[in-house]
Amino acid sequence: MILMTTVTLSKWGNSSAVRIPNQILKQLNLEDGAELQIVMTSENEILLRPTAKPEETNESLRVHLQTLLDQFKPDTSRHEEIEYGTEGDELI
């Protein structure tokens, strides 16, 4: 899906700024404070792109971990530890 809208350039201190509509911010999973790159193309177009992909929140990681832990069955037999010995200069 391509979203397109018209915005107005406004004065902000010694710079100029545009406001990015909420619908676009939500689609990109961006919040206030997110860093964006400004790219000027050879066709004199301006592109804005996030400097990094949005990371998962700790909450989504907790939910994922809990999903994995819920699949764990404590009564399941496991293999025994295997001793491979030492090789090289490992410290024990």
Domain 10-64 sits in CATH 2.10.260.10? yes
Q: For residue 92, what pLDDT is reported?
A: 61
Name the pLDDT band for 39 (thresholds 50, 70, 90): very high
- Residue pair 65/72 in contact (Cβ under 8 Å)? The answer is no
Q: For residue 32, what pLDDT is reported?
A: 87
pTM: 0.49
E strand or H helix at 47, and its extent? Answer: strand 46-50
Mean pLDDT of the chain: 84
Q: For residue 36, what pLDDT is reported?
A: 93
